Every structure is written in structure tokens, then in C-alpha cells.
Chains A and B, each alone.
Chain A
Amino acid sequence: MDLTLLMYIVPSLIMFGCGVYGFITRKNMIAMLISLELMLNSVDINFVVFNRYLFPAQHEGMFFTLFAIAIAAAETAVAIAIIINVYRLAKNVDINQITKMKF
């Protein structure tokens, strides 16, 4: 049995679908951020798998994933700082109760 490109893309597709579902349905901001991480991670898998299967002589997908991981870490750190600040001001992180910034 051969391990083909498709067999790695399908779990990544399901991971992305779970991320979309979680991002829409969750109400806690941290849980939404966890869903966002799932989506980012599935995109990283796609970059590496396409690079490895279709262009094994070059490594652009691998470098792109390396930088994407660094940027995802930075983004998560800033997002968590914002969430902690919101918790200090509003005493919860439920998106239905934080409506003061709505106009």
C-alpha cells in the first residue's frame, strides 16, 4: 500500500473543517483561539506535504511553514494578552457579554 499525497491532505481537510466549526460555534474567546490554531496548523501541513510530494528538490514549503509557525506563536501571544486585558476589564471572556465596543 502506497502512502499518497491525498492520504495526508484528507486529515488536514477534516482538521480545517473542525476549526471552522469551532470558530463559529464557540463563545469563549480562548476556545475560539484554539479553533484558530487548528486551522493554521492544517494549512501548515498542506504546505509541507505539497512541497515534499510535488517538488522534493526544493524546500520553499518547508521554509514557509517555519515562518508561519513563528508568526502563529507571535499572534497567539498578542491575542492572549488582549484576552487577559479584556478579562480584567469585563470579568469574563464570553463574546456575547462583551458588547461595549459595539456601536
Chain B
Amino acid sequence: MKYSQRSQTMLSRTAESLFWLGRYLERAEATARVLDVHLHDLIGTTSMHQLRWANEIQALVGMDISETTFDELATILSLSKNHPSSISMCYELAWQNAKSARDTVSLELWESINVTYSRLRRTFVTDLGHSPHAFFAWIKDRSAMARGISDTTMNRDQAWFFLHIGRSLEQLDGTARLLRVKLVDPDGEDWVVALRCLGGHEAYIRAVQRPVDKAKAIEFLLTDTSFPKSILFLAESITDSLGELSRHIVDPPHKPTVPPSLARLVANLRYPRINELADQADSYLAEVEEALIDLGQTLDSSLFAPAPESITSHTQRLEVWI
């Protein structure tokens, strides 16, 4: 049979583009959420408080910490063309990756990203318009839309799983970074804000049914499998996706395997010693970090198949792992 159908092939470059597309879409939304939450709470706070938040946010997005007002910071993180976590930059890179994988992402997903990107470039150049809230809400809407469209219009083949792993990995990274920043907070009073930064306050109330306190919040963010941004939920989701991917990939040497550090993380969070979760948060976060690094290596070496030296030197990737 000369014309029999081929199994879907996925270029390594395209797989990598999809992975980063997922990451940047997620990161744009995460930045919008953090800024929106703090902007809202700004009213009636002292300048000391504002300064600390500004520092926290800088730590959260991996910026060098410098003295800056919250407003300036919000503008930079929304519109800067240099910072890899700024919303504008995230969409720029998401758009580039989507374009490079344009034969693989669904038409509707591409259209949605293209529209967001061109509006960002046209309308929001120097300021956030009449209402920063409206801007952040719009970004959150557009990101939710992109997620919904990809989930409903894309086949569950390799393309979707690479996109999905990118998204989950970025979320996992996001939750871990938030925990890390908040754990060093000397006052330790801001756990409601911390939850809200992930859109998880309501989820906490529903799941825990107790007032927010530090230990419960940490436990919730680490292990609550009903909360889709908890470390455990995301780690399991990535494990599952890697399993799905390996079912799509027939060739044994290229089957992605779950890194042992990730498997260990899942096991430790699934079966923790009683009451040690909050106290041991630091060591769990170290495990998350290890798992993230190993995941990156697994993807890079077995799936994104780095090209020989001569070729890599010409590629112009801008991706930044934080």
C-alpha cells in the first residue's frame, strides 16, 4: 500500500516549540494574576508594605531586586520587551513558537494567540490603558481562552501532550517559586495573598474549610490533589502525560521515561509522614527543583533531540528557564 496513512510524525523542533508555547501562555497568565492580586490589595497599605511586595514580586519572577515602586514594576512586568516574564514578552515568544509550529497547532488556537498578540502590540505599547485591572482581566481571559481552545480543538496526540507538559511544568514551577518566596517571608501573614496569586483562595476554602493559616496553606499547595495548581496534582499530571507520550512514540529508545526524581517527589507527597509537611516544605521544594531540572534534561535529550553543534549554533532560541 503506497498511500497508506502514516502515523503522525512530530518534528523535534515543533515539539519544542509546542512545549514553550505552553510555558509562555501559562507564564503570561501567572504574571497577570500576581500583579492583579497585589494591585487590588494596594489600597490602604503602607509604603513599607508596598516595598516588600515589590521585592517579593521581583523575587518571584526572577528579577534582580532593586528599589522600585509597585506601579513601575507593574508596567515593566506587563509591557517590557526585555524581561522574560513580562506579559508582553511572554506573548511575543508564545506567538513566535506558535508560528513556528503553525502546521501543528489547531487553526483556532493560532488565531486566538495571533489576535491577542497583535492587540498587545497595537494597543498596549507604553501604558496599560485606562484600567490596569481591565488589562490583567483581559490577559487572564485570553489565556483561559487559549487553554480552552487547545483542549477542545486539538487531538490528544503528541502535539497536545507537549503543549500540556509545557503548561503543567510552568505551573509547577510557578507554585514552587511562590512557596519559596513566601516561606522566607518574616511575617508569614500573607498566605491569603499567596493563595490568591494562584487563583487558589476559593479553592482552599472549599477544600480545607478552615481559616487560612501558614501550615494548612503550605500543605494545601503541596499535596491537595483536588487543587489543579498544587505540586502533587501537577507532578502527577506530568507523570501521566509522559506516560501518554510514550504510548504515542513507538520507537523504544525515544520513549520518554519519568525521571526518578519526579517519581520520588510524587511518592513523598502522596505518603508524607504525618505533620511534617509544613516543617519540611524546604526539602520538598528542593525535590521539586531537582525534578524540574531532570524533566528538562529528559525532554531536551530524548525528545527535542538537540541537533549537532554545527546546526545548533544557527538556531536563535530565546527561551529562558527561570
A and B: real partners? no
- Chain B residues in the interface with A (C-beta under 8 A): none
- Chain A residues in the interface with B (C-beta under 8 A): none
